[in-house]
Amino acid sequence: MRIVGLAGWSGSGKTTLIKKLIPCLTERGLRVSTLKHAHAGFDIDVPGKDSHAHRLAGATEVLVSSPRRFALVHELRGEDEPGLPELLRKLTPVDLVIVEGFKRYGHPKLEVYRAEVGKPFLHTGDPAIFAIATDQAVPPAGVPVLDLNDAETIAGAMLQHAMPLDSLLEQMVPAEIG
């Protein structure tokens, strides 16, 4: 299993790019999973469903299964949020995991950048960023700049820089970036 990430500020287009990349990668015969960091208030459970009632009653984990999919909801109940290494270990092995967010970790990442978001570049403080994907001209960056609309080229770059999970876990600690 190899790992590569997308990093960028909220509104930069990370999710839109992932929706374009997954078909490019699966058409190459790869099995792809994603791991996305979300803000504190997200919820995938629906009030009125049995699983929601189980969780509200105090269950630490609720696993819902059907012939098409299963979902596991784990309530932290005051525990610290697991770090990226712990979350990666929970995934079923596939060929490639695309990590969206978790920008403070040292895994290989592609920066998704849009000037209109009004935030600074990330690559200047993060040596794990191997390229920038943008749809506009940017000042010289010190890393390759890729066309945000060219999903095939971006997929190739991500595959080139993806790191095996075992190697990554040996050296992964949160990076100190701004």
CA distance linking residue 8 with residue 164, whole number of Å: 22
Q: What is the pLDDT of residues 52-90, one digit of tens each?
A: 888 888 888 888 888 998 888 888 888 888 889 999 999
β-bridge mates for residue 65, sequence order: 70
Is the pTM above the cut of 0.75? yes
Amino acid (1-letter code) at residue 113: Y
Cβ proximity of 174 and 83 under 8 Å: yes
Write down the pLDDT at residue 176: 45
Cβ proximity of 111 and 121 under 8 Å: yes
β-bridge mates for residue 129, sequence order: 109
β-bridge mates for residue 147, sequence order: 134
Q: What is the pLDDT of residues 75-85, one digit of tens each?
A: 888 888 888 99
Domain boundaries, the chain: 2-39+81-171
CATH topology of domain 2-39+81-171: Rossmann fold (3.40.50)
